[in-house]
Structure 1
Amino acid sequence: MAEVGGKIRLFVHPALDTGAEVPLAPEQAHYLFNVMRLGPEAPVTVFNGRDGEWYARVTRVARNGGALRVFAKGQPQRRPPDLTLHFAPIKKARTDFIVEKATELGCARIAPVFTRHTNSERLRLDRLRAHAIEAAEQCGETHVPEIVEPAKLDRLLDGWDSARRLMFCDETRMARPAAEALAEAAPGAPWAILIGPEGGFAEEELTRLRGLPFVLPVTLGPRVLRADTAAVAAVTLWQSVLGDWR
């Protein structure tokens, strides 16, 4: 079925159904017609994060636009587990990497958090969302994670919904291994993961996190991991124990 719609996948905004016309943004038209050299009737696979995956064909080619026509249904809409990734922003390229991999690994939401030792406090959410969309297009996903406005750690914890467990990745390794600790948790509950900054959490942040009843402190192994590596490792462990990889 993948060949019916073509190997190129595009995230689009309009509702999708048989016969729907999908107008192309200028950057999408440039990619399809100038980079990929597609012409009329060329197949393209589209999704909007709501209606599943659909197959379409090029019906109009224009320099600054164009259009597709939907003709068949592909895979149904997938909903990821209710998992939010909180991470302290780092250098731009590594933050982009975290967003890309969190999308590929199946996070429902990506929510930057500012801690005492966060080195980077300038974020362009439109850029992060563009990276999430590109990752979803490339990995065959039908869902694009929500990119949440960043928040300071204290404020985030003040307003926390205690029904959501928080897997706190403690870089001091004063905690149980993540896989062991997660194995005792009941599946199906909403969760979040917290990854700290490159400089580590401040002592008062560590003390508060360890004392909260909804927090599950874990260690990611005997090595000190970079923040971007820790994010990938933590989501992978959670997905393999409690998520949709089981």
Structure 2
Amino acid sequence: MPRIDFTSHRLYVDAPLTPKARVALDPPRANYLRNVLRLNDGAEILVFNGSDGEWRARLDAANRKSPALIAHEQTRAQHPPFDLHYLFAPLKHARLDYMVQKAVEMGAGQLRPVLTRRTQAERINLERMRANAIEAAEQCGILSIAEIFPPARLGALLEGWSPERLLIFCDEDAPVQDPIDALRAVPGAGPRPLAVLIGPEGGFDEDERQLLLAMPQALRLSLGPRILRADTAAVAALALIQASLGDWRSFR
């Protein structure tokens, strides 16, 4: 596995990447590279587009009216998108920004806002979510961009649930037990598609809880003796799941 270069600036680009590919820079990105990062003509950065791996590219800024990046060396091949789905009741603004960034850092490949009866913020800026997902990928050496889905009602989402994907839903009313033991005790919980669901800060109502408990693919999980805020619960749950059932296990 190639070592990730954290000393170079990384930039997501929405363009194909091949040897000598020229990636035109729009004014905001040109301004970011030249005036924020203060890079000069010929400076090198790392670029990725979510499908062609990571490339080293040179800044071609001699023509200020049409600055561009020129790809010249692939540093890492593309890896498959992460197959961990993160489902969550939406939060407001800054806390949603934080949660999206942390979910991406923890390996979520899909972000799915879920509307429940106690959801407090139903209007979501999907473009802002995507921008936060891209920023997290840029900063953390991730090569794929998490897929962002529009909000869906919990019942509608569960109706079309894949029987192969384990749905781990975190519930403050679940009996408190060791979450690692609970996750490792799942029958047939070897490598399989995973999803984690964090509900609203008011909790699931009883009808929603019973709907989830009736699913044969669902696992009810306690996150300990304290009630966590939703953005904190996201980090705690994703860390537990990655360590017990997810891609952290590949390092054992």
With the shorter chain as reference, the TM-score category is: over 0.9
Partner of 2:147: 146
Deviates more, 1:36-45 or 1:56-65: 56-65
Partner of 1:220: 223
Secondary structure at 1:207's aligned position in 2? Answer: helix
* Uncovered stretches (5+) of structure 2, i.e. residues with no partner: none
Cα contact 1:89–1:114 (8 A) shared by 2: yes
Q: For 2:242 and 2:236, how far apart are their aligned partners in 1? A: 10
Deviates more, 1:204-213 or 1:121-130: 204-213
Partner of residue 204 from structure 1, selected from 202, 207, 217: 207
Shift of 1:134: 0.5
Residues 81-130 of structure 1: CA distance to partner in whole angstroms, max 9, x if unpaired?
Answer: 41100000112111111100011111110111000000001101000000
Cα contact 1:60–1:67 (8 A) shared by 2: yes
Q: For 1:118 and 1:188, how far apart are their aligned partners in 2? A: 32
Q: For 1:74 and 1:242, how far apart are their aligned partners in 2? A: 29
Q: For 2:118 and 2:165, how far apart are their aligned partners in 1? A: 25
For 1:158-197, what aligned pairs fall within 5 Å after superposition?
A: 158-174=159-175, 176-185=177-186, 186-197=189-200
Aligned CA-pair RMSD: 1.8
**Letter in structure 2 aligned against 1:205:** E
Shift of 1:62: 5.9
Partner of 2:38: 37
Cα contact 1:114–1:151 (8 A) shared by 2: yes
Partner of 1:28: 29
**Closer, same or farther: CA 65–122 of 1 in aligned 2, 3 Å:** farther
TM score, norm. by length of structure 1: 0.94
* Uncovered stretches (5+) of structure 1, i.e. residues with no partner: none
Q: For 1:80 and 1:179, how far apart are their aligned partners in 2? A: 25
**Letter in structure 2 aligned against 1:168:** F
Shift of 1:242: 1.6
**Closer, same or farther: CA 130–82 of 1 in aligned 2, 3 Å:** same
Partner of 1:104: 105
**Letter in structure 2 aligned against 1:143:** S
Residues 145-172 of structure 1: CA distance to partner in whole angstroms, max 9, x if unpaired?
Answer: 1011110101111121122110010111
Partner of 2:90: 89
Cα contact 2:176–2:224 (8 A) shared by 1: no
Q: For 1:239 and 1:64, how far apart are their aligned partners in 2? A: 46
Cα contact 1:6–1:43 (8 A) shared by 2: no
Secondary structure at 1:220's aligned position in 2? Answer: coil
Secondary structure at 1:74's aligned position in 2? Answer: strand
Cα contact 1:39–1:61 (8 A) shared by 2: no
Shift of 1:181: 2.1
Q: Say whether residues 1:237 and 2:209 are aligned partners.
A: no
Cα contact 1:19–1:70 (8 A) shared by 2: yes
**Letter in structure 2 aligned against 1:232:** V
Q: For 2:104 and 2:63, how far apart are their aligned partners in 1? A: 31
